[in-house]
Amino acid sequence: MSSPRYPHPIVAREGWPYIALAFVVAVVVTAVGGWWSIPLWLIALFVLQFFRDPPREAPPGERLVLAPADGRVISIETVRDPYAGGRESMRISVFMNVFNVHSNRSPVDGRIERIEYFPGKFVNADLDKASEHNERNALLIHAHDGSLVTCVQVAGLVARRILCYVKPGDVLHRGQRFGFIRFGSRVDVYLPPGARLFVGVGEKVHATASPLAELPQVGSA
């Protein structure tokens, strides 16, 4: 069983080649062109901040569903979960812009039952249709309390690479890092009916640190 503690560096490994390239180019142009390199240093700093990946502490509460990503809540809807047999669910969508941390972390403790990848389009992830039409990767998680929670990585207008490092059968801890999406995207979380919401549309959330909802007790009305 993986440790629930944060096992990654402050700067995401996914960004190391991009950061190195940006700073090398800035240094070379500085040596050749002096002040003309300022825009390149700004780009290098932007790339560095994009790939930051700070550790987070999960708040106590076994049935809490934590934000799987940094960003803004753009939608809360009652829908049919297409990844779990069309069961009625509450979907919470978190949109990440290019200034948010793009590390994706598990919203609950549980075992991954299934992972499904869907190729698709790259429309603006802020639009509702992105959940159905964009490239996406869905994790169906059987939470430790018996609930089913689906967490979906959705590519965006600029994002062209969804990274997922887990497989069916893996056990995840709340806040455990499971993937990364490059350059702007969203994450959808499908919860069972009766989940108690802690957030509203328009609110900013932080991965692991912000509770989105509380799962209902299994078997409750």
Active site residues: 185
Dist. CA 3–CA 19, nearest whole Å? 28
Contacts of 196 (CB under 8 A, 6+ apart): 213, 214, 216
- Residue 4 region by backbone torsions, left for phi larger than 0, else alpha for psi between -120 and 50, else beta: alpha
Phi, psi angles (nearest 5°) of residue 150: -110, 130
Distance from the first to the final alpha carbon of the chain: 33
Q: Which residues are within 8 A (CB) of 40 and not within 5 positions of it... i.e. 6 or more apart? A: 22, 25, 26, 29, 30
